[in-house]
């Protein structure tokens, strides 16, 4: 019988090597402040974009490197989107 695994469990299987010295995604908070719809809050599959007191809070640790936030970003809030440097980033695992 195949065991059903929910999204949180599946994401928990992945391994991350976080580059503490160089963020691979950088935001311009002033630009984000002008963004009315803030689609990043709903499209990131890892839920890395949140809002606190009307300001976008983002942490690149845990990024799945899917690129979705870059595609939907309005007002140029993402000033840098690159894949992490070699050896850093996500290693996808299925079990
Ligand atoms: S690349 Fe994907 S996982 Fe990473 S922050 Fe953007 S939407 Fe989230
Ligand atoms: S969509 Fe882009 S500009 Fe708008 S809040 Fe998110 S990161 Fe900032």
Q: Which domains does the chain have, with CATH numbers?
A: 20-84 (3.30.70.20)
Q: How confident is the model at residue 24 (pLDDT cuts 50, 70, 90)?
A: very high
| Binding site membership of 25 for ligand 2 (Cβ less than 6 Å) | no
pLDDT tens readout for residues 37-58: 999 999 999 999 999 998 999 9
Buried b (16+ CB within 10 A) or exposed e, 52-75: eeeebebebeebbeeeebeeebee
11 CB near ligand 2 (under 6 Å): no
pLDDT band for position 16 (50/70/90)? very high
- Quick one: pLDDT band at residue 34, thresholds 50, 70, 90? very high
Residues 19-23, mean pLDDT to the nearest whole number: 96
Q: Which ligand is nearest to the CA of 60?
A: 1
- Identify the residue whose C-alpha is closest to ligand 1 atom 4: 63
Phi, psi dihedrals of residue 28, rounded to the nearest 5°: -105, 105
């Amino acid at each position: 019988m195949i065991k059903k695994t929910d999204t949180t469990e599946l994401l928990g299987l992945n391994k991350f090597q976080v580059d503490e010295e160089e963020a691979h995604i950088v935001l311009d908070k002033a630009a984000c402040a002008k963004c009315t719809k803030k689609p990043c809050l709903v499209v990131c599959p890892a839920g890395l974009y949140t809002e606190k007191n009307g300001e976008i809070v983002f942490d690149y640790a845990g990024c799945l490197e899917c690129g979705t936030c870059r595609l939907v970003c309005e007002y140029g809030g993402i000033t840098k989107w690159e894949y992490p440097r070699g050896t850093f980033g996500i290693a996808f695992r299925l079990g």
